[in-house]
Amino acid sequence: MKMRPEKYLRYLFLPNLLELFGTERTKEILTVNPTIIPVREEAAMVVITAYVYSKTDIKEYKNISIEEALSLKCNDHIIWINIDGLRTKDVDLIGDQYGINLLLREDILSVNQRPKVDEIDEILFCLMNILYYNEEKNSIGQEQISLVLGKNFVITFQDDPSRDLFNPLRERLKLATSKTRAKEADYLYYTLIDTIVDNYFVAMEKLGDRIEDIEEEIIRGTNKRALAMVNVLRKELIVLKRSIYPVREVIGGLIKSDSELLTEFNERFYKDVYDHIVQAIDLVDNYRDMIMGMQDLYISNVNLKMNEVMKVMAIVTCVLAPATVIGGIFGMNFQVIPLSGQHWGFWMAVGAMLLIPAWMLILFKRRGWF
């Protein structure tokens, strides 16, 4: 029978301990079955923004409807449509307008999908995860994003309309001197991917600060809470590994792609993103080594504390052993016991009981046993 400690501990009114067990977080991370088609809830709110631009001009459209977004399609300008909040109807309308294959639409509407890159029907599709640090839960959060590149258009699909990573990019795009406006649509595609990858370091930096705090707590004193927090950090590393490691394959696939949508001139920019994702992977590996070292440090501290306790107990036992032997000898029920009839015999026995342990303590101290 499988034991569930949180089932019984909740009746003890110990919410902090329940948080330390982190069983709900384990379910979120590990219960992903690719053979089961997850049911995505329709977004309650959808925010659609669009930018139609060329080298000389740009038009911005905020909080428009899906119908208005569809009417913006043109061939002489580059268009970027960003949809925050996914609904099946909206994805189908966009897909029909821009020729997005049904398989790619399924990936857009999927949940907990592995990062990937596909090219179908002159459409370059890239699926990644946006990572952020949840301050309330002290955990790594992720948001799935799909990026579609076509001839003179880029379409991005995000899950959460309340959080957007591309606001700095929008501001740069409005500038007359913007490099993005002077280049093809694949450069905007690169910029979006580069922004997502750079944000990985922001989330990992905050996680690194938390790792340092827990490491200091373990060094100051060993406690079960620190060990529980180490276990929680290991779960967060699983989220990082699952989201970041496959991105190396994604960027590598873009570099090796023969798609006409990707210009040869912009290939060097994707190589730069590849270098960044390799650095992110190395950082995740470093965090993993640190957490394993923290676990070993915790075990070493526990063993050290146990050794200190055993050493004290052994010294006390050794110090009391002479008194026990002397008391046992003079306490035997024999008719003739040396010094038992002398009035100073008791003081000799007591003196021996004190002098011998004192001599033993001096000897232990000289030998560095404590």
Pair (121, 237) in one structural domain:
yes
Q: What is the pTM of this model?
A: 0.77
Determine the Cα–Cα distance for residues 80 and 127; give it in Å rounded to an integer. 17
pLDDT of residue 12: 41
Is 130 within a domain? yes
Is 216 within a domain? yes
Strand partners, 249: none
Pair (93, 206) in one structural domain:
yes
Pair (235, 180) in one structural domain:
yes
pLDDT of residue 22: 56
Pair (85, 189) in one structural domain:
yes
Of 95, 96, 219, residue with least CA distance to 157: 95
- Residue 83: phi, psi to the nearest 5? -115, 115
pLDDT of residue 121: 84
Pair (44, 74) in one structural domain:
yes
Dihedral angle over CA of 237, 240, 246, 252, nearest 10: -120
Structural domains counted in the chain: 2
pLDDT of residue 25: 67
46: Cβ contacts below 8 Å, ≥ 6 apart: 66, 83, 84, 85, 86, 87, 90, 161
Residue 163 belongs to domain with CATH number: 3.30.460.20
Contact (CB, 8 A) for 160 and 131: no
pLDDT of residue 273: 93
Q: Give the type of residue at 170.
A: R
Pair (240, 271) in one structural domain:
yes
Listed in sequence order, the DSSP H helices in the chain are: 5-9, 15-21, 23-30, 66-70, 88-98, 102-108, 167-173, 185-220, 224-256, 267-330, 345-366
Contact (CB, 8 A) for 211 and 291: yes
pLDDT of residue 277: 94
Between CA 172 and CA 127, with CA 244 as vertex, the angle to 5 degrees is 65
Pair (186, 212) in one structural domain:
yes
Determine the structural domain holding residue 21 and report its residue range.
Answer: 1-31
Determine the Cα–Cα distance for residues 99 and 103; give it in Å rounded to an integer. 12
| Residue segments in the chain with a per-residue pLDDT below the cut of 50 | 1-2, 6-19
